[in-house]
Amino acid sequence: MSVISLDNPRDSAERVVSELLRVPPAADELGRVFAAHGHLLHLVGGSVRDALLGRPTTGATGAGGAPADLDFATDARPERVLEITRGWAEATWEAGIAFGTVGLARRGLRFEITTYRSEAYDRQSRNPQVTYGDSLEADLSRRDFTVNAMAVSVPGHDFVDLFGGMADLARGVLRTPASPAASFDDDPLRILRAARFEATLGLTPVPELVEAMRARTERLAIVSPERIRDELRKLLLAADPVAGLERLVEIGVADIVLPEVAAMRMEIDEHHQHKDVYAHTLTVLRQAIALEEPGAPDEVLRWAALLHDIGKPRTRRHIPGGRVSFHHHEVVGRDMTRRRLAALHFPKDVTDAICRLVYLHLRFHGYGEGEWTDAAVRRYVHDAGPQLTRLHKLVRSDCTTRNRRKAAALSRTYDSLEERIADLAAREEIAAIRPELSGDDIMALLGLAPSRLVGQARAHMLEFRFECGLVGREAAEAELFRWAREHEVPIPDA
């Protein structure tokens, strides 16, 4: 992490301003609009923090090339913000107006302007109670962490750091502007956010912050699943998600938001015949990240790596000789994964992809020394579907043995499987295997209306495709008629 030196505070401030001058001119234009109407406008939050860290200033592009937000604080109320920016903004959105936030767009950039505010949860509510403030100082004091409680005026670029955020960045520590207890009582989600900043920026929470996190884990019960989900997704996409996850497990937060992960901390048996599943999982996650394309974190792969063994605690059985088995943990783990992601309101497509990987992560271990038939290889590709590339990475990451000879042998064996997949793909279409006869073909050939029988016939033809590959239309029809006779399905006269 590149942080500016504090040896010369004046030089540091000048360098901050220099970095912030890279903010798009539209931000200064917006500041002049507010000033002309008698209001103050300050750039706050991540843009200021990232300038100090030497990271690219937000506002250029976000994930996937989409424009990212520039966050501002103002003394103007939301209705006033809409009024004074009418004609300047090319688009506006009011989804957050109940929380004091107005969104604007201009020249491909997005701006979020939030009225000075304070917000706190009551003991029963899932939503913050928002009240407006009257000063920038009060607004900054109720922000989550000192590193996010700095501001720069626009267009003047006066730097405001009332709580030592710049010094905390230089020391690599995470603190709150107010007392940690008060901060987490105001918004318990900040407990998760602290772990995310540890994972994202490498900032270590100070001891009093950690103790407040630990003491208030139960407060997360009032936070909506969607907000918890969003923080966890950001944490998994961080530079070092393991650091954040270890913090959540250590302080007991994982027991609430990801109990299946915390449950993997199983005792190693006295003969050391199986690994600590939790430590193994974190290693798998690190190794999966190492296989990602540079600069392209893969959320589905990371979640699959984290959750692939969550079925082990429930399936652990002690067997003679001091050994331990986890039979069918991939099936149990898939179902547990689906329930957990559903509870967090994950999108269905993301959930389906992760569950497929969890379910299939053990399939390769039946490959042995390459004894699989071509039919088995086709099934492997078919069952993986669009997740095949991720499955390759997950399986390779799942090898955490310290025995170099064993690790090398497993790697060579998987190389062999990938080579066989490539060889089959060169000879036939296996990326999206389908029967050579469609459902319409089957109905026409057998004179059937849409029915369960058509589905059974198609399932048989898919199995035939797995076993025999591409055989041509004539041979496929002959197999369909053979199946029909075997199942006493009348065959129309040719």
The CATH number that applies at residue 126 is 3.30.460.10
- The average pLDDT across 54-69 equals 49
Taking 90 as the threshold, does the pLDDT of residue 230 lie above it?
yes
Do the domain assignments include residue 494?
A: no
Instruction: Name the amino acid, one letter, at 380.
Output: Y
- Predicted confidence at residue 425, as pLDDT, reads 85
Angle between helices 46-53 and 9-20 (to 10 degrees): 120
Provide the token pair at 80. 């006033």
Please, what is the end-to-end C-alpha distance for the chain in angstroms? Answer: 75
Write the DSSP string, 130-178. EEE-S-HHHHHHTSS-GGGSEEEETTT--EEESS-HHHHHHHTEE--SS
Question: Contact 193/46 with Cβ under 8 angstroms?
Answer: no
Give percent of the chain with pLDDT exceeding 90: 62
Helix 348-360 vs helix 299-307: angle between axes, to the nearest 10 degrees?
A: 50
Q: What is the pLDDT of residues 320-351, one digit of tens each?
A: 876 777 888 999 999 999 999 999 999 999 99
Residues 166 and 213 both lie in one domain = no
Residue 385 is encoded by which pair of tokens? 């579907």
Distance CA 363, CA 217 (A): 38
Cis ω before 297 (30° cut-off from 0) = no
Q: Give the pLDDT confidence of 416-474 residue by residue, as tens digits.
A: 999 999 988 888 777 778 888 999 999 999 999 999 999 999 999 998 988 888 888 99
Q: Give CA–CA dist 299/449, Å, rounded.
A: 43
- 150 phi, psi to nearest 5 deg: -110, 155
Q: With beta carbons less than 8 A apart as the criterion, state whether 184 and 140 touch.
A: no
Q: Is residue 22 very low, low, confident or very high in pLDDT (cuts 50, 70, 90)? A: low
State whether 153 and 191 are in the same domain: no
Q: Same domain, yes or no, for 51 and 134?
A: yes
Residue 436, amino acid: E
Q: Are residues 101 and 130 in the same domain?
A: yes
Q: Are strands 323-325 and 317-319 parallel, antiparallel or unpaired?
A: antiparallel
Rounded (10°) CA dihedral 202, 205, 207, 209: -170
Domains identified in the chain, total number: 4
Q: For residue 350, what is the enclosing H or E element?
A: helix 348-360
CA proximity to 179, closest of 204, 152, 151, 216: 216
DSSP state of 90: S
pLDDT on residue 270:
40
Domain ranges, residue 443: 439-486
Clarify whether residues 393 and 276 are in a common domain. yes
**Residues with Cβ within 8 Å of residue 44, at least 6 apart in sequence:** 71, 72, 73, 140, 143, 148, 150, 151
SS3 (DSSP) at 41 = strand
Based on the domain organization, do 339 and 423 belong to the same domain?
A: yes
**Residue 433 located in a structural domain:** no
Q: Are residues 88 and 149 in the same domain?
A: yes
Q: Residues 165, 179: one domain?
A: no
pLDDT tens per residue, range 272-316: 444 589 999 999 999 999 999 999 999 999 999 999 999 998 888
